[in-house]
A and B are shown apart, each in its own frame.
Chain A
Amino acid sequence: MNFKHKYLFLFPGLLVLIGILIFPVGFTVRLSMSSWDSFFPGLDYVGLENYFRLFQDDSRFWEAFGRLSFLSVTTVTLQYVLGFALALMVWKDIAFKRFFRVLFLIPMMTTPVIMTVIWKTFFHESLGPVNDFLNIFGWNPLWLSSEILSKVTVIIVEVWQWTPFMFLLLLAGLLSLPKEPYLAASIDGAGPYRTFIYVTFPLMAPISIGAIIIRLIEASKIMDTVYVLTSGGPGTATETSSFYIFIKGLREFQFGYSAALSFTYLIIMIISLTIIAKVLVRLMIRE
């Protein structure tokens, strides 16, 4: 069929795409080339001035970015290991299999902000139950106000909240694995440990990569946990990129500059996640 106006039918779809993606990104780029702030609102044109400021003078953004990289890689690694372990636990026939499967999913179903408030209460340094307990041994760790421990606290909360997601994806993957290689492996003399290393893990590689990438994308947006738990503190010890962009944009109302930060951040994330995905494929799937 050769219908001259067939592209006309793509127009509604294109309209939606323009509305939700192309226009916002385009506007952000334009905004990043203005000095729009609370004192002088409006789309003036300052060229790449915001970008020069970002790359030359703003070490706080790059520190936040380094911290974000550390936090997301650490949390996703822990989520993967724990999620895989939990999924393996309820994969085979064990008692109360269904009960455990649901139980492990509960953290994911809770609202992150509310759970973070609860965690903050938990870890409260003078009133929280965690330190109440640790006081018995004479310990009083500063969960929220020590530079190192505050990062640990953020990691604990993030891992608790999102391991179930990893668990869910990996369990679905495990349940979809073919049974036959396991028959072969047991006959071929592979014990439980070797079966995991040589059969389960390689068969799970494609699913693992997908799950890790999805979680990395999500984890690189850490914002609510930090906002509620530590507000980026102490100092800037737990400040992440998105939290810093939030401060610049919605606390200090430097719209132009925060647009430049957002756009730069987007480009970096696209490049780095592509590289990470390629590296993971190379590492986990043998050709």
Chain B
Amino acid sequence: MDLLAKELVYKPDTEFHLNNISFGMKKGEIYTILGRTLSGKTTLLKAIAGLVNPQSGRILFDGADLSRVPVWKRNIAMVYQQFINYPHLNVFDNVAFPLRQRGVSDKELKSRVYDAIERVGLKDFESRKIQALSGGQQQRVALARSLAKQAKILLLDEPLVNLDYKLREQLREEFGRIFTSEFSSESILVYSSTDPMEAMQLGGETIVLDEGQILQQGPASEIFENPATTRVAEITNDPAMNLLPGVIEDSKIVIDSKMKLTIPLHFRELSSGQYTFGIRASDISLSKKGHGFTVELAEISGSETFLHARHDDVSLVGQLDLVKNFNVGEAVNLQFDAQKLYAFSADGNLVSSPFQEFGRG
């Protein structure tokens, strides 16, 4: 491991921002830190950068302790969620700033700056003032600056969160291209996000962070397929995975003592008892054979409809592949795809997933 964090603790007031965090990262890899707002993502990146000093724990890079190295001496680049640039400099000078600080020769500086500016798609904008750029372009400048620096660690803290939807989609795609095809094998890239889609799209390793603790770490697809706990299942799905308390009895799944489902094949090893069942919003569909629910809210987004529905104490969100206006209070029949059900034990740990079988009995 090239970047090692050991038992980082940061508690500036009564709450933990980082609660005993340890991880290892390898050069040439992309890491996504996935977590809700206030989960500690920004603090963790700032700790790596040196902008935040953890009260205990150590960060080692290439075997050397970074704790006592001031920010400006660490070879790190960072892009923030706000578009942070130098307002008094033009695009070229903004991108050249970190290189000038390190005394890079004029010729190399020029080639690296022009190269970075071209990679983020801002060619011919070199002499523009920062204020004359749109938000998306400002963020590209910030990204170009971090790329030109060719830092050993590149930190991106929710770089797309403050952009509008269209631009976010477009930049996300470009980011994927820039990072995967052109990123140096000598560097570590750490990307933080609240959006599971981004983690999936970037691939690489995902670290799920919640309340300052790492809940799960592994390849993005692995975490998506087999979330270790109910909390991970919520964080790694958007909308969050529906979690329904229920029991298995007489070879049936019973949710809220009324809804009965045939037990799917991958649950066959599970013994009778209390479970929390998980079902993704996208695995819920309208069907006459389904269970009766009452519509509480319906939002249309693009070509999909997000349906918030309730049946007594069971409320869930379905992501339907159609555009339809539902009235509040309308009765609908919703069917769960039992083959896609997850089962979590009463204390929240995954016991069975459609992708893998877990602890028997």
Contact = CB atoms under 8 A, between A and B. Distances in A.
B71 A184 contact: no
Contacts of B49: 187
Interface string B82-98: 10111111000000011
B84 A186 contact: no
A178 interface: yes
B88 A188 contact: no
Interface stretch (A11-19, A103-111, A190-198, A237-245): A190-198
Contacts of B76: 187
Interface string A166-203: 00000000000010110111111111001000110011
B101 A184 contact: no
B84 A180 contact: yes
Interface string B65-86: 0000011110111101010111
A181 B72 contact: no
A119 B85 CA distance: 48
A188 B75 CA distance: 8
Given A180-B84, A203-B87, A187 B77 contact: yes
Contacts of B73: 189, 191
Contacts of A286: 88
Contact of A189 (B72, B80, B85, B142): B72
Given A181-B85, A183-B51, A199-B86, A188 B80 contact: no
B97 A188 contact: yes
Contacts of B89: 202
B192 to A, nearest CB: 15
Interface of A is mostly: helix
Nearest to A201: B88
A180 to B, nearest CB: 4
Q: Report the contact-size class of chain A (Cβ under 8 Å from the partner).
A: 10 to 19
B111 to A, nearest CB: 19
Contacts, number: 64
Contact of B87 (A181, A189, A190): A181
A203 B86 CA distance: 9
A187 B78 contact: yes
A185 B105 CA distance: 19
Residue among A178, A186, A189, A202 with the highest chain B CB neighbour number at 10 A? A189
A185 B98 CA distance: 8
B145 A188 contact: yes
Contacts of B75: 189
A274 to B, nearest CB: 24
A181 B86 CA distance: 5
A286 B89 CA distance: 8
Interface in B317-336: none
Contact of A198 (B85, B97, B145): B97
A189 B84 contact: no
Interface of B: 49, 51, 70-73, 75-78, 80, 82, 84-89, 97-98, 100-102, 142, 145, 149
7 contacts: A181-B88, A184-B85, A184-B145, A189-B98, A190-B72, A198-B97, A202-B89
- Nearest 9 A-B pairs (CB), nearest first? A188-B98, A189-B101, A180-B84, A186-B71, A202-B88, A187-B78, A184-B84, A190-B101, A189-B72
